[in-house]
Amino acid sequence: MPKKDQKNPSGSISPDSDTKPKLSFKERLEAFKNLPRFFKMIWETSRSMTLGNVLLRIIKAAIPVVMLWVGKLIIDEIIFQIDNPAHDFSMIWIYLAMEFGLAIISDLINRGITLLDGQLGDLFSNKTSVKLIHHAASLDLHQFEDSEFYDKLERARRQTTSRTVLMSQVLTQVQDIITIAFFAVGIIAFKPILIVILIIAIIPSFLGETHFSEASYSLTRSWTPQRRELDYLRFIGASDQTAKEVKIFGLAGFISDRFKRLADQYYEANRKLAIKRAFWGSLLAIIGTGAYYGAYVFIAMDTVEGKISVGQLTFLAGSFLQMRNMLQSIMNRFSQIAESALYLQDLFDFFEIKPDIRQADSGLPIPNPIKRGFTFENVGFQYRGSENWSLRHLSFHLDVGEKLALVGENGAGKTTLVKLLARLYEPTEGRILLDGHDLRDYKLDELRKNVSIIFQDYMKFQLEARENIAVGDIEGIENQEHIETSAGKSLADTVIEKLPGKYQQMLGKRFLGGVELSGGEWQKIALARAYMGNAQLMILDEPTSALDARAENEVFIRFAELMQGKTAVLISHRFSTVRMADRILFLENGQLLELGSHEELMELDGKYAGLFKLQAKGYV
Ligand SMILES: Nc1ncnc2c1ncn2[C@@H]1O[C@H](COP(=O)(O)OP(=O)(O)OP(=O)(O)O)[C@@H](O)[C@H]1O
């Protein structure tokens, strides 16, 4: 069942709190299991860059502790030379040169890492987006009609670009852990107690961070439907497609009020959490700072008592401070990584969604030519989540070479019927046969190639004119001659001739230099798609509703000529068009009411004849 936004009694929209209950620590840890898969994807994106990145980070990990150690040597040497009457500077120069060299190497490595992170991130994001497009295309139409699915899609889409940060987070984490291990060795060698103090200092703030990132993830996730609605409101409030109606109906206030109400609620929920997080974060950080100065007292006393040198004091104090900062960021990053890994789950979840309508493993090839045609056997269809039958008890045969017109009132089930023919949906009951075999037994991709549908709500792609036609058979996109022939057949050629860029003209106003077409002009372009492919069954769903009477007549005369011997289904509300068909199927409430040629149905004097006469008089 599509999940509706929940409304509380006061009418305000509340987050979908049951989408995901609060996550336990265990669940958060479990999210880490996504990391290997994530890194596998990164590795597959570019092996050399991943390897280079890791190597640079390993080198980088050792640099801070080496620098600090050289710093210790410099100070001890200086103090030694102060007491040495000869003032031998040679070792000091060497140590300083080493420190300088290390600083330069560190800087270069940093830049290398940033560069590789950026490049890998971009490549990863591109690759995931491509995968997302392909996966979304493999899913069923009914999945797109489910609001929960949309939420998943939305979350996944966000992940394709934002998850690249996760990669550098994890790698930096590993790098910092190695550095800390180096520091720890140094500290343990001189003053093991410091490590204990350090851990005590860090734990509270780690727990705090973990708690708040968990809360933040739950909040973001539970608000997905509302954020989607916010995006939608932003879109309808400011887009080329809606601008006309927003102006004419004066909808700006309505849309912005609705946006504001929802955005304020989200802001409020976020704000509370952000304030709490800031408060507790600062408090817990004070504990860490206190521990640092506590440790300082220990080392200072040891130095004064002569147990360690001044150089060791700077080394230990420096190590402790850097370790503390690093541990703090490791802990914080740990919860960020856990959070990111949870979001990653959304991406993987989306990739896990499988279509119901799949190609049979050893699917039959579509017969060429089709010999007997399509047979509906007691077909019934219900959309998911709907109680009503959009089609019921439908039995008829569509012969090869036949031109069948589907007529019926709005919502009678005409479009649904043709969607079933292309297996965009499966019948809920009964079956559809092609040359005696169930449609499900055929290869799905071949079926789709052989059943071409131009929908009434066809897509106006903001692409070039030639591309808008080529989408009918995208493999033919480079075949300009074929594109032009198809345009000629649908009368789109006359439209394109008038465009400044001709076939290369960008259509729609979204991109630079684009030209908008009239409804009828768009329809002629869309109609040309039907002539691009080599489908054996051609379906036109109200393809001429926006054409003027003369153009419509011409389109149909051509269509009839061009479809000689081919099977075609035509949906139209204009009976002057419909009568050209060999047979007419009259649907009412999803059921077959009348079926026969124009003459037969007129003779029957039923619903069809009644409506035909009404239209002839000019009433409908
Ligand atoms: N995606 C969908 N989900 C749920 N119900 C749907 C969906 N699409 C259509 N319906 C319902 O199925 C019924 C048949 O719709 P269909 O689009 O097939 O009618 P139609 O005869 O093509 O209508 P029209 O002449 O208005 O184009 C309608 O009652 C409609 O509300």
Q: List the structure tokens of 212.
A: 């708040």
Which residue puts its alpha carbon closest to atom 26 of ligand 1? 410
Q: What is the pLDDT of residue 22?
A: 52
Q: What residue owns the CA closest to ligand 1's atom 18?
A: 413
Note the pLDDT tens digit of each residue in 338-353: 777 877 887 888 888 8
Fold equal for 32-352 and 374-616: no
pLDDT, tens digit, 9 for 90 and up, residues 117-151: 989 988 988 888 898 889 988 888 888 877 778 77
Which ipTM value was assigned to this complex?
0.96
Locate the ligand 1 atom nearest the alpha carbon of residue 141 and give its number.
1
pLDDT value at residue 276:
92
Task: Give yes or no for a contact between 486 and 529, defined as CB atoms under 8 angstroms apart.
Answer: yes
Q: How far apart are CA 226 and CA 474, in angstroms?
A: 37
pLDDT digits (tens, 9 = 90+) for 269-279: 899 999 998 99
Looking at residue 10, what is its pLDDT?
Answer: 34
The mean-pLDDT minimum among 136-140, 481-485, 559-563 falls in 559-563
Q: How confident is the model at residue 534 (pLDDT cuts 50, 70, 90)?
A: confident
What is the CA(611)–ligand 1 centre distance, in A?
Answer: 21
Task: Provide the percentage of residues in the chain whose pLDDT is more than 90.
Answer: 40
Long-range contacts at 130-133 (CB < 8 A, ≥ 24 apart):
131/351, 132/156, 132/157, 132/160, 132/350
| pLDDT value of residue 407 | 93
pLDDT above 80 (res 176): yes
- Phi, psi angles (nearest 5°) of residue 431: -150, 165
Res 129: pLDDT: 86
Mean pLDDT score of the chain: 86
pLDDT of 296 above 90: no
Distance CA 359, CA 338 (A): 38
Q: Measuring CA to CA, which residue among 164, 152, 162 is closest to residue 20?
A: 152
Say how many residues make up the chain: 620
The predicted pLDDT at position 161 comes to 66
pLDDT tens digit string along 250-289?
899 999 999 999 999 999 989 999 999 899 888 888 887 8
| 408 CA: nearest ligand 1 atom | 21
Mutational pocket test of ligand 1: of 382, 383, 418, 586, the residue with most ligand atoms within 8 Å of the beta carbon: 383
Number of H helices, E strands in the chain: 22, 10
Q: Under 8 Å CB-to-CB from 285, ≥6 apart: which residues?
A: 205, 328
Considering the domain 32-352, what is its CATH architecture?
Up-down Bundle (1.20)
Instruction: Concatenate the DSSP letters of all residues of 460-514 into one string.
Output: --SSBHHHHHHGGGGGGTT-HHHHHHHHHHTTHHHHHHTSTTGGGPBBSSSSTT-
| Cβ–Cβ < 8 Å for 91, 77 | yes
The CA 143 to ligand 1 mean position distance, Å, reads: 16
For residue 445, what are its two tokens? 């991709």
Please, how many CA atoms are within 13 Å of residue 452, restricted to the half-sphere of its CB?
23
Q: Which atom of ligand 1 is nearest to the CA of 573?
A: 25
Q: What mean pLDDT is predicted for residues 25-52?
A: 84
Bond prior to 367 in cis (omega within 30° of 0): no
The third-level CATH classification (topology) of the domain covering 374-616 is Rossmann fold (3.40.50)
Ligand 1 pocket at CB < 6 A: 145, 383, 386, 390, 408, 410-416
Mutate to test the pocket of ligand 1, among 386, 409, 416, 545 (most ligand atoms within 8 A of CB): 416
Distance CA 194, CA 421 (A): 74
CA-closest residue to ligand 1 atom 6? 383
Q: How far is the CA of 393 from the centre of ligand 1 (A)?
A: 17
Residue 298 — pLDDT band, cuts 50, 70, 90? confident
Between the CA of 429 and the centroid of ligand 1 the distance, in Å, is 17
Taking the CA atoms of residue 155, residue 160, residue 165 and residue 166 in that order, the dihedral angle to the nearest 10 degrees is 70
Q: Where are the domains of the chain?
A: 32-352, 374-616
Q: Whose CA is nearest to atom 27 of ligand 1?
A: 410
Using CA atoms, how far apart are residues 55 and 38, in angstroms rounded to an integer? 19
Choice from 1, 142, 415 to test ligand 1 binding pocket (greatest atom count within 8 A of CB): 415
Predicted pLDDT at 27 = 67
Q: How far is CA 612 from CA 335, 406, 559, 598, in A?
A: 70, 14, 22, 10
User: Closest ligand 1 atom to the C-alpha of 385?
Assistant: 4
Q: Round to whole Å and give the CA distance between 462 and 112.
A: 39
Which range scores top for mean pLDDT: 105-109, 135-139, 309-313, 453-457?
A: 105-109
- Reference 332, options 217, 200, 212; nearest CA is 212
